[in-house]
Amino acid sequence: MKRSYGRARRTTDAPAAIGQRIEVVLDRLSHDGRGIGRWQGRTTFVEGGLPGERVTGRVIRARSKLIEARIDKLLESSPERQAPRCRHADICGGCTLQHIAHHTQIELKQQALVQQLQHFAGITPERWMPPLRGPAYGYRQRTRLSVRWDQRTGRLQTGYRQSASNELVEINECPILIPALEALVKELPNALQQLKACTGLGHVELIGGEAPAMVVRHIRPLDEQDVALLEQLASRHNIDLWLQGETEAMRFSRQEGAPSELAYRLDEQDLRFTFAPGDFTQVNAVMNQQMVNQAMDWLDAKPGQKVLDLFCGVGNFSLPLAKRGAEVTGVEGDARMVERATVNAQNNHLNAVHFYQADLSKPFTNETLDQQYQAALLDPPRDGAETLVAALAERGIGRILYVSCNPATLARDAGILASKGYRLVQAGVMDMFPQTAHVEAMALFVSGKEKNQNGTSQS
């Protein structure tokens, strides 16, 4: 399938036109896995290229001193190049690093964290910790597939967005998915095409865990025949079916004897979490378990210590902390997820954990939170937690564990903590999203005022 760039167009002061084909020799890699070279004296980033390669690329962005392109044709190949496992890799906007060896991907992500911390904060951790590693493929237990009716061809398109485009890549495989979900992906497009209401579908979400599920978002009502077809598809793959309409609430169509709720486990903590479609949960179960284990080790909360868990979601970190004996306060912006976290604590018989709803983009105003905490854990979205980390520092919290999905905002926030007297004790990356350029990291900050076990200051 060829990407359509349309007519090449030049933006103001740009050296190249959008869609123009340019030839570049690449000499190094960027931290996000793009090949870097020069074209007409300008630094050029080529997605899909490797050092030592000569390529032609299609320009996707152009500024006066910088060009971004996507590989169009490989003229001279690097011996480091590997064949992508997915046949959609050259056009899909998701897994852009499949041509790079897995160990090299992890090294790039570690370099990205190093560079961002140095660039934005001018700091280096006292200890670089080994990366947390997981499977290169077959790891993703949650995905959302776009569904779009193509009026020109009279066909339903099912897939992911193309890179640098709103067009869809129609897929019937996705090897980063767990096997049960990839098996469903192979059959899903044809099944959706058969629905009478196929022109009125929104998207389909596939979810793994204890009770794998397919969530079908439909704009127009589904009649009994359409529902029956979807139930048959779900039954063949031994998953649950959820239907979500425009005006009706989410409703559940359950197979005989199947669980009636979405859930996942942290086996090493013997904890079970329920959640609803739309709730945030980690997509990589293997890495989530490793991440929670590492967070417990690094934060090292003692029984009876008060710990603040910010952006707590359904309790992914709160409950393991409480199980270690800490007194945990979880805070989340979404009131529905606060309810879910509370239920999860009750179901796991944990009483020393309480959850509250608050806007975490603003300073705390809830009087319930105005108490002394010995430690805090935060797992913010990509925007980071600029206001929040300053507030934590003002509270004099001794240990702050920061879980990040964006090294740039982690570095910015690390600079704030450093200016308040915190040391970046240790940091490292976690291989949460193999084959993609997304970087997940963990960093531990310790206040210069925190005392060690002998009662003396560590500063």
Q: How many residues does the chain have?
A: 459
| HEC sequence for 144-172 | EEEEEEECCCCEEEEEEEECCCCCEEECC
Those residues with Cβ within 8 angstroms of residue 272's Cβ, 6 or more apart along the chain or in another chain? 210, 263, 264, 265, 344, 347, 348
Pairing state between β 155-161 and 127-128: unpaired
Rounded to the nearest 10 degrees, the angle between the axes of helix 407-419 and helix 102-116 is: 40
**Is residue 275 classed as helix, strand or coil in its secondary structure?**
strand
CA gap 192, 199 in Å, rounded: 10
With CA atoms as reference, report the closest residue to 375 among 441, 422, 439, 314.
422
Q: How far does the chain reach from its first CA to its final CA, in angstroms?
A: 59
CA gap 70, 200 in Å, rounded: 33
CA gap 171, 8 in Å, rounded: 28
* Tally of CA atoms within 13 A in the half-sphere of 99 that contains its CB: 25
Determine whether 405 is an active site residue.
Answer: yes
Residue type, 421: G
Phi, psi of 38 (to 5 degrees): -135, 140
Active-site entry in 92, 174, 198, 405: 405
Residue type, 123: I
With CA atoms as reference, report the closest residue to 72 among 9, 8, 18, 22.
22
Active site residues: 405
